[in-house]
């Protein structure tokens, strides 16, 4: 094959790998969500202790990350070690927000259906954009805000049509969305601005222990007394071990997807995952999905799709501007080189 054929093969390989990363992430995200629902739902496995489940995940992730970084040394720590000041001012707040986000989102599965939770999660772009404006990381744009309002209206319609609406469950999920959005913005402010880059293993190595510490406080007050009274409970290593392994693998899949493609690709793939979960929830778990649910989420889906499209166009424009600037700089360099050569030639003639 010629040069063009080799290029085509490279492009095809890149496309296949991108779809593979997307498929793995969707599968693992799908698995973790359904698995958590199975464990926490009172009608299924009947273990309604979301803080305990989250702590098991964090303990597992902390242990594996510590082993890979410090014992096996298969993963290199950051080239610049985190100082105590950076750990206290950056990692600890992010860990606290992460622990609250996981606690509330897992708690919501006790009260709400999988399908309705995915519909509520469509508010994530709204939360990220609003908090970004609040922290001055994003500029206010009327058209973008109108898009955010349309997403919110769609989710409100979906909530209005929910057959098994639970106010406490909705509050928990909305809090989880708001806290997770704040965490994402804080990562940009606290870590990215300091030039700190963490892969998923080192992220878990630093963040998971702080999550475990923060979760232990509400666990001791809320769930530990109930677990002590539940004398019939026996820790199932198969169920909780495989569940924790899936949660750990999901962290790696997120890194692969974002690192090898982009965060925008994950957002688009997330929309596909949500539709798959809604279909699974309706057909397999037998959750009730009403026409009003679908109408509202359809509207929110269009808003999210338009938001992702706008971000894609902005990225393309930025890349085009960057290439144009590079081309201009190269041309300027050539002109300077040519003019410099001419000047040297003139000086040589004068000296002659």
How far CA 211 is from CA of 84, 250, 255, in Å, comes to 17, 17, 19
Note whether residue 132 is domain-resident.
yes
Domain assignment present for 10: no
Q: What gap in Å lies between CA 226 and CA 215, rounded to an integer?
A: 16
Q: How far apart are CA 324 and CA 313, in angstroms?
A: 16
Q: Is 272 exposed, middle or buried (0-12, 13-18, 19+ CB in 10 A)?
A: exposed
Range of the domain at 98: 18-228+236-333
Determine, yes or no, domain membership for 5: no
66 Cβ partners below 8 Å, 6+ apart? Answer: 205
Per residue of the chain (352 residues), give pLDDT as tens.
444 444 467 777 877 888 888 899 999 999 999 999 999 998 888 899 999 999 999 999 999 999 998 898 888 776 667 788 888 888 899 999 999 999 999 999 999 999 999 999 999 999 988 998 998 888 888 888 999 999 999 999 999 999 889 999 999 999 999 999 999 888 888 777 777 777 778 888 989 999 999 999 999 999 999 888 876 667 889 999 999 999 999 988 887 787 677 766 777 788 888 888 999 989 888 888 999 999 999 999 899 888 888 887 887 787 778 777 777 766 666 666 665 555 545 555 555 5
* Rounded Cα gap, residues 146 and 198, in angstroms: 35
Examine residue 284 and state whether it is found in any structural domain, yes or no: yes
238: nearest Cα among 71, 45, 55: 45
Number of structural domains (the chain) is 1
Instruction: List the structure tokens of 120.
Output: 């509520």
């Amino acid at each position: 094959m010629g040069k063009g054929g080799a290029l085509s093969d490279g492009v095809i390989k890149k496309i296949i790998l991108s779809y593979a990363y997307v498929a793995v992430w969707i599968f693992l995200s799908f698995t973790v969500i359904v698995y958590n629902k199975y464990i926490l739902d009172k009608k299924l496995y009947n273990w309604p202790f979301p803080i305990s489940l989250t702590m098991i995940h964090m303990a597992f992730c902390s242990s594996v990350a510590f082993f890979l970084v410090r014992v096996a040394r298969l993963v290199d720590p950051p080239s610049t070690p985190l100082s105590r000041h950076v750990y206290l001012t950056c990692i600890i707040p992010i860990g606290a927000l992460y622990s609250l986000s996981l606690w509330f989102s897992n708690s919501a599965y006790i009260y709400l259906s999988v399908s309705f939770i995915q519909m509520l999660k469509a508010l994530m772009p709204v939360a990220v954009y609003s908090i970004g404006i609040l922290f001055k990381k994003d500029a206010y744009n009327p058209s973008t805000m109108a898009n955010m309002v349309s997403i919110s209206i769609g989710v409100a319609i979906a909530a209005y049509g929910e057959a098994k609406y639970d106010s406490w469950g909705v509050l928990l999920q909305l809090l989880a969305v708001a806290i997770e959005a704040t965490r994402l913005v804080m990562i940009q402010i606290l870590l990215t601005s300091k030039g700190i880059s963490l892969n998923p293993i080192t992220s878990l190595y630093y963040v998971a222990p702080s999550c475990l510490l923060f979760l232990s406080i509400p666990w001791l007050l809320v769930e530990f007394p109930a677990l002590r009274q539940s004398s019939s409970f026996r820790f199932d290593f198969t169920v909780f071990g495989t569940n924790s392994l899936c949660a750990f693998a999901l962290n790696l899949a997120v890194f692969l997807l974002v690192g090898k493609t982009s965060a925008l690709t994950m957002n688009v793939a997330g929309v596909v995952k949500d539709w798959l979960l809604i279909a699974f929830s309706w057909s397999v778990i037998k959750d009730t999905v009403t026409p009003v649910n679908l109408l509202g989420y359809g509207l929110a889906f269009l808003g999210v799709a338009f938001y992702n499209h706008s971000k894609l166009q902005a990225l393309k424009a930025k890349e085009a501007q960057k290439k144009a600037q590079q081309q201009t700089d190269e041309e300027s360099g050539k002109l300077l080189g040519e003019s410099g050569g001419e000047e040297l030639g003139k000086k040589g003639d004068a000296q002659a």
